[in-house]
A and B are shown apart, each in its own frame.
Chain A
């Protein structure tokens, strides 16, 4: 690992140093009385995140302009996105609450429609699950789903409270697993083993 770390430092010394040092300093501020330093670093992160958001929007625009120019994929989606993006960006400078109007009467209805599509998709997927993957876990999943739906309808009353307790216990087990994975991934980044930057 030390050899890898040295080779990373040789390859891209600045980014590796900045990443590891920032992580170690922020971790240290939780142990030592250095809250102001942590606040300072986190305020830099907020500014960088805002800039990254802008980069994301520009990237989205450039991908779809590129799609239109190379005529691959569905040009209708790309042209709709570009027109909507330019329109929204333009009205943001206009006086009044036109951007709020777009948000309320365009974005929210569109996302609500996607949620409706999602309900159908999930119902279909649950129905197909046993056909696609017939194992004990799928049977338990579908049985739990049916019991939960029945009990939430109020037909049985409190007869299935044990099911909710079991689901809560299982959920906590999964969350513990995810928490452990999160800690190890963070430590790998701190140790320089995982470097999601500069190749």
Chain B
């Protein structure tokens, strides 16, 4: 890592802390509308009311790779959804295609049970490894959606084109599917097949929209600032190159 990268990370960290402190002082969240998350809120409330389950797929990325960060967002959403859904009789089910993610998913669900003093009700099969290769993972998730009274699917993590098999199961069982992936092929497939696809950085905005904490909101604002900074730098570099051609 060179000094430039360190400065970039420090800038990001500073912005996040700055927005966090500002967020503590003001009311409201000032986030742009992403209708997918409002529909997700509705789907969660509906599942709590009618006693059905929510399924959260967190993909099959390795947590030590950059793709693991998409799974971290999935785990944040799992934590939040578990806390809400445990008010009903049916806790959520999490599926993962990586051993490390399964352990984290089980730990996250157990934490939600503990926070509500329901330790005795925890079942380790709520966090499942469904397959350890892309297609076996997708094939293993499909019966969960079809057989286990699922009313909403949340797919947040690293998925490839195998994600279409999962969304097709959601389509067949007529359940709501919100999905986002961290790569272009996965996003293209999910755009065509999911009810509510998340494009680009929207994947990482989930925590802010479902009330996972003020830091999630602060990090979204920090992303916006840095994105505009990058846009300005790209435009300036383009203009500079154009001017160099003239002179």
Does chain A have a CB within 8 A of B87? Answer: no
* A140 vs chain B, min Cβ distance (A): 10
Shortest Cβ-Cβ A-B pairs, 5 listed: A199-B111, A181-B204, A56-B99, A30-B1, A52-B99
* A172 vs chain B, min Cβ distance (A): 10
Does chain B have a CB within 8 A of A186? Answer: yes
Please report B residues at the A interface, Cβ cutoff 8 Å: 1, 5-6, 8-9, 12-13, 16-17, 20, 62, 64, 66, 69-70, 72-73, 75-76, 79, 96, 98-100, 102-104, 107-108, 110-112, 114-115, 124-125, 127-133, 135-136, 138-140, 143, 147-148, 161-162, 164-165, 167-168, 171, 182-184, 187, 189, 191-193, 195, 199-201, 203-205, 207, 213-216, 219-220, 222-223, 226-227, 230
Kindly supply a per-residue 1/0 record for chain A positions 37-79, scoring 1 wherever the CB is within 8 Å of any chain B CB and 0 otherwise: 0000010010011011111110110110010000011100100
Does chain B have a CB within 8 A of A176? Answer: yes
Q: A60-B129, A191-B13 are known contacts. Are A177 and B69 too (CB-CB below 8 A)? A: no
Nearest chain A residue, comparing its CB with the CB of B203: A181
Q: Which residues of A contact B215 (CB under 8 A)?
A: 1, 188, 191, 193-194
Q: Which residues of B contact A197 (CB under 8 A)?
A: 104, 107-108
**164-190 of chain A: CB within 8 A of chain B:** 171, 173-178, 180-189
* A142 vs chain B, min Cβ distance (A): 9
Q: Once bound together, how far apart are the Cα atoms of A137 and B202, in whole Å?
A: 16
Q: Once bound together, how far apart are the Cα atoms of A56 and B200, in whole Å?
A: 29
How many A-B Cβ pairs are below 8 Å?
Answer: 204
Does chain B have a CB within 8 A of A31? Answer: yes
Q: Once bound together, how far apart are the Cα atoms of A194 and B103, in whole Å?
A: 16
CB < 8 Å: which of A51, A77, A125 contacts B143?
A: A77
Q: A141-B191, A174-B200 are known contacts. Are A56 and B102 too (CB-CB below 8 A)? A: yes
CB <8 Å contact, B103 and A52: yes
Nearest chain A residue, comparing its CB with the CB of B132: A56
Q: Which residues of A contact B187 (CB under 8 A)?
A: 174
Q: Once bound together, how far apart are the Cα atoms of A57 and B130, in whole Å?
A: 9
Q: Once bound together, how far apart are the Cα atoms of A178 and B8, in whole Å?
A: 16
Q: Which residues of A contact B114 (CB under 8 A)?
A: 199
CB <8 Å contact, A73 and B64: no
* A70 vs chain B, min Cβ distance (A): 10
CB <8 Å contact, A126 and B192: yes
Q: Which residues of A contact B200 (CB under 8 A)?
A: 173-174, 177-178, 181
Q: Once bound together, how far apart are the Cα atoms of A4 and B98, in whole Å?
A: 29
CB < 8 Å: which of B8, B17, B70, B100 contacts A49?
A: B100
Q: Which residues of A contact B125 (CB under 8 A)?
A: 59, 62-63, 66
Does chain B have a CB within 8 A of A196? Answer: yes
CB <8 Å contact, B99 and A111: no
CB < 8 Å: which of A72, A74, A171, A189 contacts B72?
A: A189
CB <8 Å contact, B129 and A187: no
Q: Which residues of A contact B104 (CB under 8 A)?
A: 196-197
CB <8 Å contact, B165 and A118: yes
